[in-house]
Amino acid sequence: MTILHTARLRLEPFDSHHFDGLQAMNRLPEVARYLSGQPETPEQTQAAIARVQRCWAAWGTSWWAFIEYDSERLVGAGCIQYLRRDAVPPPDPMDQCSQPMEIGWRLHPDVWHRGLATEAARRMGRFAFESFPITELLAVRHVDNVASGQVMDRLGMQERGLETWYGATLATHVLSRERWQQLQP
Ligand SMILES: CC(C)(COP(=O)(O)OP(=O)(O)OC[C@H]1O[C@@H](n2cnc3c(N)ncnc32)[C@H](O)[C@@H]1OP(=O)(O)O)[C@@H](O)C(=O)NCCC(=O)NCCS
């Protein structure tokens, strides 16, 4: 499991001690709005942490909790993981490995509009291209999720249209390895 660092954040693979911070964020309707649409219950947060830990073991990547250095508070979460077509995850995470990889993010609304999602996403994107032999990284969003689309734009991703992922029709954005390399300082 890999801990990542940015100027303002430490990205820690999900662990049971992240429960309170994840639940405080994922139970908020404004966070859930363009995800499942339903605020996450404590039981769902617990199950998500356990599933993520299985994915880290199987894939060597999954979800991180974003911990702000200044406050040591959990302010968000993000992922590099295999996409899936179906709404429900397969029982064995290895069954997802033939799918493309995606990058994803969410923040507690207290810290929106400070650039933290983009900052974490740049670091997670570097991890993805440096750790896996992928030719491209995808990101998917509800068509009305403009804020997330702007993070994708800031990463240099290009929108390629509507596709079915997670059992839904989602705007799909792509960052090729070639474009990612061109964007590196
Ligand atoms: C998607 C989401 C993470 C975007 O958050 P965000 O705060 O808008 O995105 P960033 O953290 O990259 O911040 C960018 C903003 O910070 C501003 N900013 C302030 N200080 C900054 C700094 N030091 N560096 C960069 N940007 C900074 C930018 O100008 C930009 O402003 P704007 O929002 O007025 O355009 C957030 O809306 C969210 O968590 N939504 C709920 C969950 C969700 O939908 N997740 C995505 C699913 S696809």
User: Do 135 and 177 contact (CB within 8 A), yes or no?
Assistant: yes
* CA proximity to 73, closest of 37, 128, 39, 111: 111
* CA proximity to 180, closest of 141, 114, 124, 142: 124
At residue 95, the pLDDT reads 86
Whether 7 is in the pocket of ligand 1, judged by its Cβ within 6 Å, is: no
Tally of domains within the chain:
1
Atom of ligand 1 nearest to the CA of 30: 41
Tokens, residue 45: 């947060």
Whether 157 is in the pocket of ligand 1, judged by its Cβ within 6 Å, is: no
Give me ligand 1 centre to Cα 107, in Å. 8
Per-residue pLDDT tens, the chain, 185 aa: give them.
Answer: 899 999 999 999 999 999 999 999 999 999 999 998 999 999 999 999 999 999 999 999 999 999 999 999 999 999 999 999 999 888 889 988 889 999 999 999 999 999 999 999 999 999 999 999 999 999 999 999 999 999 999 999 999 999 999 999 999 999 999 999 999 98
Atom of ligand 1 nearest to the CA of 139: 48
Side-chain-side CA neighbours of residue 30 (13 Å): 8
Whether 118 is in the pocket of ligand 1, judged by its Cβ within 6 Å, is: yes
At residue 166, the pLDDT reads 96
What CATH number does the domain containing 11 carry?
A: 3.40.630.30
Q: Which of 28, 81, 112, 170 to mutate to test the pocket of ligand 1 (most atoms within 8 A of CB)?
A: 112
Nearest CA to ligand 1 atom 3: 106
At residue 1, the pLDDT reads 85
Q: Which of 22, 40, 141, 151 to mutate to test the pocket of ligand 1 (most atoms within 8 A of CB)?
A: 151
Q: Distance (Å, rounded) from C-alpha 96 to C-alpha 12?
A: 23
> What does each C-alpha distance from 51 to 14, 18, 23, 54, 136 come to in angstroms?
10, 14, 15, 5, 25
Helix (H, G, I), strand (E, B) or coil at 18: helix
Q: Where are the beta strands (DSSP E) in 43-98?
A: 63-68, 73-82
Structural domain for 33, as ranges: 4-183
> What does each C-alpha distance from 4 to 63, 84, 102 come to in angstroms?
11, 25, 17
* CA proximity to 116, closest of 172, 181, 64: 64
Q: Is this model's pTM higher than 0.95 or not? A: yes
